[in-house]
Amino acid sequence: GAGVSQSPSNKVTEKGKDVELRCDPISGHTALYWYRQRLGQGLEFLIYFQGNSAPDKSGLPSDRFSAERTGESVSTLTIQRTQQEDSAVYLCASSPMGGHGTQYFGPGTRLLVL
Amino acid sequence: GENVEQHPSTLSVQEGDSAVIKCTYSDSASNYFPWYKQELGKGPQLIIDIRSNVGEKKDQRIAVTLNKTAKHFSLHITETQPEDSAVYFCAASPSYGGSQGNLIFGKGTKLSVKP
């Protein structure tokens, strides 16, 4: 079946511009996670959705970062007024349930802020 | 909060040899420990996981061991093959915050298997 998909696969933007990153989870998965992966580093947790609500936003690095999820499906991560340090791969994962269910990752969006 | 340390950062082995990657964690309440394999340009893929009620789990050439007392867990790959070359990440899932399952990752180990 279809896995987690993310778009765009690559995004180049200028410092100060806003960007939107999209995640389409596996159908029926109620839990959705966003992570950030800087070059050569591990993954940093950003935000978790259970259904359409976000009980844990503790990983968002600043108020320039926000995310929403609609229809218990698609999620969008928005970065406002991008900075060069935002350059990274943004990964989305979905899970059939919250808690400690297996997380299935998408291919990521590679963001470069010039 | 939880902190995961992973060693080594790079590992090079000959085809057919074994590879071992070790991780330690800080939160004794963590109870779920997955391992992911990430190939270049792709998202991480789960290869094996272990929960805190068992000490060892094996799946063909891959095994994971967990020592809760010492708060460390290890990935063992036997009979390595060139296609095992990738970056491997360990992770721990802390139990605070309602057990939402967000994962805390190690920094990764780049495994190279030489033919």
Give which of B93, B112, B81 is closest to B46, Cα–Cα. B93
**pLDDT-based confidence at residue A99 (cuts at 50, 70, 90):** low
Q: Which residues pair with B113 in a beta bridge?
A: B13
For chain A, the residues whose C-beta falls within 8 A of a C-beta of chain B are 4, 31, 33, 35, 40-45, 48, 50, 55-56, 58-59, 91, 93, 95, 98-108
Give which of A68, A46, A65 is closest to A57, Cα–Cα. A46
- Please tell me the distance from the alpha carbon of residue B59 to that of residue B36, in angstroms, as a whole number: 14
What is the per-residue pLDDT across A43-65, written as a single tens digit (0 to 9) for each?
A: 999 999 988 888 788 889 999 99
CB pair distance less than 8 Å for A107 and B106: no
- Give pLDDT, residue B15: 97
C-beta separation of A92 from A23 below 8 A? yes
**pLDDT-based confidence at residue B99 (cuts at 50, 70, 90):** very low
**pLDDT-based confidence at residue B100 (cuts at 50, 70, 90):** low
Count the helix, strand and coil residues of chain B and give each as a percent rounded to the nearest 5. Answer: 5, 55, 45
What is the per-residue pLDDT across A75-92, written as a single tens digit (0 to 9) for each?
A: 999 999 999 999 999 999
Report whether pLDDT(B96) > 70.
no
Non-local (6+) Cβ contacts of B11 within 8 A are B19, B21, B109, B110, B111, B112
Whether residue B104 lies within 8 A of chain A, CB to CB, comes out as: yes
Give which of B98, B44, B102 is closest to A33, Cα–Cα. B102
Cα nearest neighbour of A92 on chain B: B43
Report whether pLDDT(B92) > 80.
yes
- Give pLDDT, residue B98: 45
